[in-house]
Amino acid sequence: MTRVTIDPATDMLGLIDVQPTFMPGGELAVPDGDAVVAPINRLLAGPFQHAFATQDWHPPGHISFASSHPGHAPFEDITVAYGRQTLWPDHAMQESANAAIHPGIAQARIAAIIRKGTYRHIDSYSAFFENDRATPTGLDGWLRSRGVRRLFLCGLATDFCVAWSAEDAGSLGYETYVVDDASRGIGLPGPGNRTTLELSRERLIERGVRFLSSADVI
């Protein structure tokens, strides 16, 4: 891909759920999830003057927890009031150490932290909307008030929270990129012998989201 020159006035880096709960040893570990820390720190130390971060921040008994649905197991899909819901192990528990932003992340340039999944009855993958697709997180208004036009998203997991955030960002009118080497995916089995990682990438490309590496950002 052609290298992209960052304009600090209108471009922003978005760290999606870079939390120990999604890294090796965490409750919902993404394979190689801790490998995102180094490239993210390089981006934070380099071209981006400002960034935002999201945190999954779940109360006990959250609707996304398999433990909240007797007879069901993690990674099963069920139907809830707002549609399909994948069930997960209990994770990102409010005020736990594993729900914090990873301690290895240099946070000096993180200007806002958006907490999502805080309502017990609604899950939230996207940085912009809860999974009912109607309840906003407030991120869009904050970005617009700062004049942001392009978003560079990274973090965990590529095929869930990063993908949903990128899809919504594009729909809201932001030119959107996913920084591949600063993200990692889960890769659950999906329809047609395709993984969620493959399917989400194809969906995002169809919607105009571009993928690049941290080395392409200058």
Span 176-216, pLDDT tens digits: 999 999 999 998 888 888 999 899 999 999 999 999 999 99
Q: Is 17 among the residues known to form the active site?
A: yes
Q: Which residues in 151-174 are b (16+ Cβ under 10 Å) and which e?
A: bbbbbbbbbbbbbbbbbbbbeeeb
* pLDDT of residue 218 exceeding 90: no
Q: What is the pLDDT of residues 21-50, one digit of tens each?
A: 999 999 999 999 999 999 999 999 999 999
Average pLDDT, the chain: 96
Q: H or E stretch including 53?
A: strand 51-56
Annotated catalytic residue: which of 17, 56, 123, 140? Answer: 17
Q: Please write the tens of the pLDDT for every residue from 81-136.
A: 999 999 999 999 999 999 999 999 999 999 999 999 999 999 999 999 999 999 99
> What letter represents residue 145's amino acid?
S
What's 189's DSSP letter? Answer: B
Percent of the chain residues topping a pLDDT of 70: 100
The arrangement of secondary structure in 11-61+91-216, i.e. its CATH architecture, is 3-Layer(aba) Sandwich (3.40)
Q: Is pLDDT at 157 greater than 90 in this prediction?
A: yes
pLDDT confidence of residue 188:
87
In the prediction, which pLDDT does 1 show? 60
Contact predicate 10/150, CB 8 Å: yes
| Residue spans of alpha helices (H) in 8-125 | 37-45
Query: Is 161 known to be catalytic?
Result: yes
Residue 160 has pLDDT above 70, yes or no: yes
Given 11, 123, 159, 161, the catalytic residue: 161
Element (H, E) at 183: strand 175-184
The catalytic residue among 116, 140, 154, 159 is: 116
Which tens digits make up the pLDDT trace of 185-195? 998 888 888 99
Q: According to the model, what pLDDT value does residue 34 have?
A: 97
